[in-house]
Amino acid sequence: MTTYLSRIEKPSDLQALSLPEMEELAAEIRQRIIEVLSVNGGHLSSNLGVVELTLALHKCFRSPDDKFIFDVSHQTYPHKLLTGRNPLFPKIRQYKGLCGFAHPKESVHDHFFAGHAGTAFSLALGVAKTRDLEERNDHVIPILGDASLTCGLTLEALNNVPKNLKNFIAILNDNAMSISQNVGNIKNILSRLLSNPTSNKFYQEIQGILGPRLGKFGQKVTESLKNLVSPATFFEEFGLSYIGPIDGHDLGHLIDTFEALKNSPRPILLHVMTVKGKGMPIAIANPTPYHGVKPFDLCSGKFLPSPSSKPTFPKIFGRHILEMADRDPSVVCITPAMTAGSCLDDFIQKYPDRCIDVGIAEGHAVTYAGGVAHGKRMKVFACIYATFLQRAMDNLFQDVCMQELPVVFALDRSFISGPDGSTHHGIYDISFLNAMPNMIIAQPRNGQVLKELVESSTTWGRPSAIRYPNLETEESNAPLVHRSPGQAELLAPGKDILLIALGHTCSTALKVRELLLAKGIEAAVLDPVFVKPLDADLLLELLPQYRFAATIEEHSLSGGLGMILNDFLIRNQLRDVEMVNFGVPDLWVQFGSNASLMRELGLDAESIAARILQEYHDHRSVPERTEKAVL
């Protein structure tokens, strides 16, 4: 039973609470998050770390007029609990429930959809510009994680800070972590700059001793001392007044600080030190696995055992790429802060010189991979989530594909990433990858084919993408078969309908086949394996045998496999084949379990079979077309 949280219906309700009562509320918020996520899973450690910070923000400012813009926004659970969404919180990340990220259609207190790092500073500067043009006085407050400072977009935004920007407080939430440990030189620089909590005080005392009357010489001395000892220098070079660091869990100090800063005529960066996983010892001790959690035991905090012992596509990839690296010293992996998600932890530990985490810098990761691949002596794999590759399209186009460099893109999460929602669905990449000349695009239906594609890709000599989901799958110990680009596989025979299914949707197609067989319709199932190049010879042999065909894919219909095969029919004048495309329509897919979303989109086996039966019978009722002369 909550004492205070149940009474908070809107942020202004905090004004009636004393500091001790708010500290009790902080404990209740943590307990609420832990209890719900023990059932639902979700982003745990990051949210436990920002409870006091979020309370202080809502205590001192007036949301939604004052705008809190969260970077990534996976740390907005306390914010949701304080803005009227506590009753719905047990359905977070569930179908028709609450989004796990900021969601403007969910609440007026959320201002942007967010799910990728590095956007908050740029967005906040733009919002502040509109505010100033309209001569308003509300506050704009971007909340940045320290890992956001490794993003090029954040650094570009820092370069654009007006020095006379008022009512603008950027919060640097420093917990020394993103999903995994932060990496790179910026992290090292910031670590040195921000690790001395007395440096600002020391600089201010020296400045006070020298005083303003020492003129130009005194100014030079103070600036030299400031450059030597103060973390303020780094940020003040960008026009921000640096304050901190302060304890991000001292609620009273946070409130006093915000009250003191809220009317500043200059833009401010407030450095706040927090503990990721605060309030849950096992999460503090294991920040990476408890960043995004699956259901866990509420008492011990230990994760519940998986109901299945099957491996996932990413785990099979991580294991096999390490086996390849053991055999071949020219195998190199590059990833933008996705070592854990892409299952590269063992690789980077064993071969740190050949597994490079470049931080949250997708564009750099792709261009860097092109540089490593230059000369074509290294076998280079760029391991990146499909949804994050969107941030590096120009790098892919100009620095890899145009250079004809044999970088293999291992595109993890190439599917509808159910609970994470629109920002994380990997369902758009085929459309832009297919537009790249000479690009190879493949997708395995199971773990065995994944291993064969990964192994074979080092011989293709061209830019390549291997797409796969984060789903459980099958594999075997059978000898690996070499996969040449443009070789499809017929998985099941059939005389009535041809089903062409991409990757893991082959299992859906085989279920559809069983449902159709019960209705007396025999469907053949074809796995193209390669989206580009297509197996033109096999398609030209098979397609004329059928008057009805269907494509099945977990990708946008705009630019996906279906559209590619429709174009194939037109170019090869296969006029008598009626093609139906099953995929993601032109809309923003929301969040929920994959099964719920598949039903909503009509991509489950039952929905597909029902539509095929209707279309097939409608088609059979139309007389066969006669051949017409081609003009």
For residue 327, give the CATH number of its domain: 3.40.50.970
Of 244, 257, 249, 335, the closest CA to residue 284 belongs to 249
Task: Confirm if 514 and 585 have CB atoms less than 8 A apart.
Answer: no
Does the residue 208 lie in any domain? no
Of 273, 207, 203, 266, the closest CA to residue 240 belongs to 266
pLDDT digits (tens, 9 = 90+) for 512-522: 999 999 999 99
* Strand order across the 67-70 sheet: 67-70, 140-145, 169-174, 268-273, 241-247
Residues listed for the chain = 631
Strands 292-293 and 42-43: antiparallel
Q: If you average pLDDT over every residue of the chain, what do you get? A: 90
Residues 156 and 37 in one domain: yes
Does the residue 338 lie in any domain? yes
Whether 194 shows a pLDDT value over 50: the answer reads no
Does the residue 511 lie in any domain? yes
Does the residue 218 lie in any domain? no
Report pLDDT for 552.
Answer: 98
Task: Confirm if 128 and 268 have CB atoms less than 8 A apart.
Answer: no
Task: Confirm if 82 and 54 have CB atoms less than 8 A apart.
Answer: yes
Does the residue 625 lie in any domain? no
Q: Find where tokens 């959320």 sit.
A: 110
434: domain range?
Answer: 313-467
Report pLDDT for 230.
Answer: 53
Does the residue 5 lie in any domain? no
Residues 402 and 447 in one domain: yes
Spatial neighbors of 434 by CB under 8 A, at least 6 apart, are: 441, 531, 532, 559, 564
What whole-number distance in Å separates Cα of residue 87 and Cα of residue 84?
8
Residues 319 and 362 in one domain: yes
Specify the 3-state DSSP secondary structure of 294.
coil
> Above pLDDT 70, what percent of the chain?
88
Does the residue 344 lie in any domain? yes
Q: Which H, E and C letters describe 51-95, residue by residue?
A: HHHHHHHHHHCCCCCCEEEECCCCCCHHHHHHCCCCCCHHHECCC
Report pLDDT for 186.
Answer: 55
Residues 454 and 554 in one domain: no
Q: How confident is the model at residue 232 (pLDDT cuts 50, 70, 90)?
A: low
Radius of gyration of the chain (CA): 28
Spatial neighbors of 463 by CB under 8 A, at least 6 apart, are: 396, 400, 401, 404, 405, 406, 407, 409, 436, 438, 439, 440
Residues 501 and 463 in one domain: no
Residues 261 and 376 in one domain: no
Of 395, 462, 428, the closest CA to residue 555 belongs to 428
Of 499, 495, 505, the closest CA to residue 611 belongs to 499
Task: Confirm if 422 and 549 have CB atoms less than 8 A apart.
Answer: no
Task: Confirm if 451 and 296 have CB atoms less than 8 A apart.
Answer: no
Report pLDDT for 190.
Answer: 54
What whole-number distance in Å separates Cα of residue 354 and Cα of residue 371?
14
Alpha carbons within 13 angstroms on the beta-carbon side of residue 561 total 30
Residues 354 and 433 in one domain: yes
pLDDT digits (tens, 9 = 90+) for 543-590: 999 999 999 999 999 999 999 999 999 999 999 999 999 999 999 999
Of 629, 628, 612, the closest CA to residue 546 belongs to 612
Report pLDDT for 170.
Answer: 96
Residues 47 and 145 in one domain: yes
Residue type, 537: D
Strands 440-442 and 464-467: parallel
Q: How confident is the model at residue 629 (pLDDT cuts 50, 70, 90)?
A: very low
Whether 74 shows a pLDDT value over 70: the answer reads yes
Phi, psi of 86 (to 5 degrees): -60, -40
Specify the 3-state DSSP secondary structure of 381.
strand
Strands 331-335 and 268-273: unpaired
Strand partners, 380: 332
Report pLDDT for 147.
Answer: 78
Report pLDDT for 183.
Answer: 54
Report pLDDT for 615.
Answer: 87
Specify the 3-state DSSP secondary structure of 107.
coil
For residue 552, give the CATH number of its domain: 3.40.50.920
Instruction: Kindly report which listed range (291-295, 314-318, 584-588) carries the lowest average pLDDT score.
Output: 291-295
Report pLDDT for 213.
Answer: 41
Specify the 3-state DSSP secondary structure of 9.
coil
Of 71, 74, 73, 23, the closest CA to residue 51 belongs to 23
What whole-number distance in Å separates Cα of residue 145 and Cα of residue 87?
28
Instruction: Kindly report which listed range (95-99, 223-227, 354-358, 451-455) carries the lowest average pLDDT score.
Output: 223-227
Residues 108 and 62 in one domain: yes
- Please state the domain count of the chain: 3
Whether 622 shows a pLDDT value over 60: the answer reads no
Residues 343 and 459 in one domain: yes
Residues 246 and 358 in one domain: no
Whether 472 shows a pLDDT value over 70: the answer reads yes
Q: How confident is the model at residue 287 (pLDDT cuts 50, 70, 90)?
A: confident
Does the residue 291 lie in any domain? no
pTM here is 0.88
What is the set of active-site residues?
276, 362, 391
Higher pLDDT, 217 or 17: 17
Cα-Cα end-to-end distance for the chain: 78
Residues 256 and 326 in one domain: no
